[in-house]
Amino acid sequence: MVFKAIILVGGPSRGTRFRPLSLDVPKPLFPVAGHPIIWHHLEALSKVEELQEVLLVGFYEDKVLERFIEDSSRDFPQINIRYLREYQSLGTAGGLYHFRDEIQRGNPEQVFVLNADVACSLPLNEMIKFHNTHRGLCTILGTKVNREEANKFGCLVAKPDSREVYHYVEKPESFVSDLISCGIYLFDCAIFNEMKKAMYNKTNQVDQDQFQELDAKLRLEQDILRTLADARKLYVYETKDLWMQIKTAGSAVPANALYLAQYQKNNKDRLLKNEPDGPEIVGCVYKHPSAIIDPSAKIGPNVTIGNRVIIGKGVRIKDSIILDNAEIKNNGCILNSIIGWDSKVGHWTRVEGTPTSNHATSITQNGIKIQSIAILAKGVSVKDEIIIRNCIVLPHKELKTSCHNEILMFVFHFYSF
Amino acid sequence: MKALILVGGFGTRLRPLTLTLPKPLVEFCNKPMILHQIEGLVKAGVTDIVLAVNYRPEIMVDLLKNYEEKYKVKITFSVETEPLGTAGPLALAKEILAKDKSPFFVLNSDIICEFPFEQLRDFHGAHKNEGTIVVTKVNEPSKYGVIVNRRDSTLIERFVEKPAEFVSNKINAGIYIFTPDILDRIELKPTSIEKEIFPKMATDSQLHAFDLEGFWMDVGQPKDFLTGTVLYLSNLSKKQPQLLANSTIDNYVCGGNVLVDPTAKIGKDCRIGPNVTIGPNVIIGNGVRLQRCVILEGVRVKDFAWVKNSIIGWHSTLGRWTRLEGVSVLGDDVAVNDEIYVNGGCILPHKCIATNITEPQIIM
């Protein structure tokens, strides 16, 4: 059996909710647990035997992904990685349909389709095993979530024993099911025939209804999966592992924790251990070898420290991502935060977010929705001894006074020409 | 000479500290409030002190017995069975205050300043009238009752409550000296000395104003307690700098005005000041930053904590990487867990704080 995989990476006009971090790096390449979000997809795919090729499909300019493809080809030499660029957004299924010949070249029998914006253990081999037991065209990875949160996702209703999906609805208003789609699919190549039909139906529909806006976008969820469910060709493989969607920038923090927990399970050597003369390490901590941490610091759980980061004396970091070249000066305290590339946090300064549940990254306080994770974008500098709590700080801002529950937008030098 | 200190009630404004100790015993700059006053009075020749209280805590009786011996002074509790205001307590203590012809001092127990009792005594002796009020200048007189002098005289002409237009910037500092004759004006019933007695004395040309030099503060509530600490320490740095930590010897001192009890221990890489008092047996860890705060006896501040504008009650513990600010006041034996942020928390004794307090609130 020969496989291919598609990772839907989207484009610059998508992922605006990932600002301010996506102002400096495209969301699929944002590092969690020390590697770009989609690197974790590649790692899971590298464990699938007879996987020929991984195609990244999206509408970023080629050069945006060039470096990533180079680096990950080195990390996963057994897989061929290429980028297929849509010149306009064609919808999640439209892109696949557009590149159908490219995808089917080499005659793969089955194709994985992975959305870039999810973090989970990706049990791909288990999906294959399950897929070969039923007569459907597609196996969808599903998971159970809290009833209250289910309507934020694509909801599935499946037969309890056969796992055949007979109802699929995207983001319903009322409660339909607590079993949801993880945005990870395994298709038989025959799916392209279904896409062709769906495309035909869609254009006909548009022709019939003059008042409906022409929409060439073919959406995987609404246009394909629904049809498959109606035709009883859709099956769900349910995972009990942690899963989450990476929508907002703040959700990178729980995603980071999720992948660090994966390391703990499968690649313990990637995590820092307590050494006699080293810093105090609590739980899962990933550190790039080039980063320097003072032995009097206390780090963890759920912390990733990027390239060439400097962590001073008596620093405390917990549930946070410290991006490349950042510096946390002596006695600083970083909790539930993302510290952007090249940012500097002063002595005794505290940057703090508020912990939330898995699928929420904002909290409500006095009826006002506020950001729960504190985020400093690239090149932000924070003065000594202040506190930045539940704030998002846009790139290159200089913070001189404490701030709570704000989005800090303006660059200081706007005012001094 | 004799003196009467108006202590009054439970000091509710200074809770949660006064849930543990009566207000006069709460340490201000490492010395019980009342001792600042007793020392000043003794120096001016006072041998009899009356404490006007409306309750009599045993702890205070015991402690003041020690002071009686140490300072060779007689201290009497005058207990009101009903609140008698600011004048009534004088009538209640008449027996002591009128036992001889010498004048007596009266002061509010919440006041902190450089008590000018000797000069006040001499000034009063020179004018030979019934009373002298110490007055201090304030920036915003419209918030207070102000005192207007007669032209070119120390005699007081009148009192104006919360003046809408500027008439004077002098206010009553809560410190007086009287000849026993004043007692003929006061009956044993609830009476305000400021509103009912002083205006008549002014009309009778029996009341003078004495200008206070230097700082003055009513430290009856936490915010003012901190401001009073700053004023007291600043004055100390001018008058008796040898009592303060010296930045050339102790490299943790930052910005001066740091008063540290000799039994306190301070870790390395700390930055302390300006305007900090550290009480006996306090232990400060490494990398701690303290400014404009009061650390009372037996407190433990663990490594890398940051404290500003706060009062830390006796034997409390601040965890590592805690941050306290916004006039937070911790009562006796409060524990704040590692990494907690407290902004404007008023925390009652023996509580353990395990979640952030981000907005000012009382933790019962």
Is residue A189 domain-shared with residue A282, that is, in the same domain?
Answer: no
**Is B267 touching A (CB cutoff 8 A)?**
no
Judgement on whether residues A287 and A351 belong to the same structural domain of the protein? yes
Cβ–Cβ under 8 Å, residues B329 and B344: no
pLDDT by residue for chain B (364 residues), tens only, comes to 999 999 877 777 888 998 888 888 999 999 999 999 999 999 988 999 999 888 777 788 888 888 899 999 999 988 888 888 888 898 898 989 888 889 999 999 999 999 999 999 999 999 989 999 999 998 888 877 888 888 888 988 888 888 788 888 889 999 999 999 999 999 888 998 988 999 999 899 999 999 999 999 999 899 999 999 999 999 999 999 999 998 888 999 999 999 999 999 999 999 998 999 999 999 999 999 999 999 999 999 999 999 999 999 999 999 999 999 999 999 999 999 999 999 999 999 999 999 999 999 988 8
pLDDT of A15 > 70? The answer is: no
Residue A108 φ/ψ region, left for φ over 0, alpha for ψ in the -120 to 50 degree band, beta for the rest:
beta
| The pLDDT of residue A211 | 54
CA B68, CA A259: separation in Å to the nearest integer? 70
Planar angle of CA A217, A220, A222, nearest 5 degrees:
85
CATH code linked to domain B238-363: 2.160.10.10
Q: Which one is predicted more confidently, A374 or A363?
A: A374
Chain B CB within 8 Å of residue A311 CB: no
CB of A355 within 8 Å of any CB in chain B? no
pLDDT for res A357:
57
- Burial label for B90, CB within 10 Å (0-12, 13-18, 19+), is buried
Long-range contacts of B161-168 (CB under 8 A, 24+ apart): B166/B141, B167/B141, B168/B141
Please give the pLDDT value at position A14: 64
A213 falls in which pLDDT band (50, 70, 90)? low
Contacts of A348 in chain B (CB under 8 A): 271, 289, 304, 306
Q: When comparing pLDDT for A371 and B329, which is higher?
A: B329
> Residues A264, A284: contact at Cβ < 8 Å?
yes
Tokens of A356: 């939330």
Q: Rounded CA gap, B276 and B260, in Å?
A: 8
Question: What residues of B act catalytically?
Answer: 162
Domain spans, chain B: 2-218, 238-363
User: What class, spelled out in words, does domain B2-218 have in CATH?
Assistant: alpha beta
Looking up tokens 């004759």, which residue turns up?
Answer: B181
The whole model's pTM is what? 0.84
Does residue A35 fall inside a structural domain? yes
* Cα-based distances in Å from B82 to B89, B146, B301: 10, 29, 42
A356 occurs within a structural domain: yes
Query: Do residue A301 and residue A334 come from a single domain?
Result: yes
Helices (H), A46-105: 62-75, 92-98, 100-104
Closest-CA residue of chain A to B343 = A387
| A216 and A323 within one domain | no
What is the residue type of B252? Y
CA neighbours within 13 Å on the CB side: how many for B224? 13
Say whether A247 sits in a helix, a strand or coil: coil
Residues A334 and A233 placed together within one structural domain of the fold: no
Quick check: is A207 in a domain? yes
* Cβ neighbours of B287 in A, within 8 Å: 296, 313-314, 330-331
Q: Which residue's structure tokens are 């957004």? A: A89
In this structure, the answer to whether residues A77 and A132 fall within a common structural domain is: yes
Average pLDDT over residues A128-154: 91
Chain B partners of A331 at a C-beta cutoff of 8 Å?
A: 269, 287, 289, 304, 306
Q: What is the pLDDT of residue B153?
A: 86
- What is the span of the domain harbouring residue A380? 266-408
CB contact under 8 A, B286 and A385: no
Q: Region A28-46: what's the mean pLDDT?
A: 95
Residue A281 and residue A331 in one domain: yes
- Which of B304, B324, B359 is the best substitution to test chain A (most A C-beta atoms within 10 A)? B304
CATH number at residue A404: 2.160.10.10
> What does DSSP assign to residue A95?
H
Q: Of A247, A278, A302, which residue is a domain's last?
A: A247
Which residues in chain B touch residue A401, judged by CB atoms under 8 angstroms apart? none
- With beta carbons less than 8 A apart as the criterion, state whether A108 and A189 touch: yes
Could you tell me if residue A336 is inside a domain?
Answer: yes
Using the Cβ of B274 and the Cβ atoms of chain A, whether some distance falls under 8 Å is answered with no
In total, how many domains does chain A have?
A: 2
Residue-wise pLDDT for B195-218, tens only, equals: 899 999 989 999 999 999 999 999
Report d(CA B346, CA B15) in Å as an integer. Answer: 8
> How many residues are recorded in chain A?
417
Give B150's contacts (C-beta < 8 A, 6+ positions apart).
B156, B157
Higher pLDDT, B176 or A369: B176
End-to-end distance of chain A based on CA atoms, in angstroms?
63
Burial of B109 (0-12, 13-18, 19+ CB in 10 A): buried
Q: Decide if A253 is inside a domain.
A: no
What element of type H or E holds B4? strand B2-8
Q: Residue B82 CB: number of other CB atoms within 10 A?
A: 9
What mean pLDDT is reported for chain A? 87
Mean pLDDT of A177-202: 87
Which CATH number covers residue A34? 3.90.550.10
Give the tens place of pLDDT for each residue, A266-282.
Answer: 999 999 999 999 999 99
Whether A110 is covered by a domain: the verdict is yes
Asked which of A85-99, A289-303, B40-54, B285-299 is least confident by mean pLDDT, the reply is A85-99
Q: Give the model's confidence band at A415: pLDDT under 50 very low, under 70 low, under 90 confident, else very high.
A: very low
Residues A83 and A226 in one domain: yes
Measured between CA atoms, the residue of chain B closest to residue A352 is B341
How far is A353 from A388, CA to CA, in rounded Å? 8
Shortest CA gap B219–chain A (Å): 28
Only one residue has tokens 């319903």, namely A172
Helix, coil or strand: residue B35:
helix
At residue A361, the pLDDT reads 52
Greater pLDDT, A88 or A228: A228
List all residues 6 or more positions away from B24 whose beta carbon is below 8 Å from its beta carbon: B5, B7, B32, B33, B34, B51, B60, B109
Catalytic annotation, residues of A: 171
Same domain, A272 and A239: no
Give yes or no for A280 touching B (CB within 8 A).
no
Kindly state the tokens that stand for B357: 């307090």
Question: Do A233 and A301 share a domain, yes or no?
Answer: no
Higher-scoring residue by pLDDT: A16, A105: A105
For the stretch A386-414, pLDDT in tens is 999 999 898 888 899 999 888 876 544 44
Same domain, A171 and A36: yes
Distance of CA A415 to the CA centre of its chain: 36
pLDDT band at A358 (very low <50, low <70, confident <90, very high): low
So what's the pLDDT on residue B9? 72
Q: A243-267 pLDDT, tens per residue? A: 998 888 888 999 999 999 999 999 9
Tell me the backbone φ, ψ of residue A232, rounded to 5 degrees. Answer: 55, 40
Residue B151 identity (one-letter amino acid): R
The tokens describing B209, both together, are 């104003």
ipTM at complex level: 0.78
Chain A interface test: which of B286, B358, B359 (most A C-beta within 10 Å): B358
Same domain for A238 and A161 = yes
pLDDT in tens, B121-142: 999 999 989 999 999 998 888 8
Our CA-based measurement puts residue A21 at a distance from the nearest CA of chain B, in whole angstroms, of 26
* A179: helix, strand or coil: strand
What's the one-letter identity of residue A411?
V
Q: Determine, yes or no, domain membership for A137.
A: yes
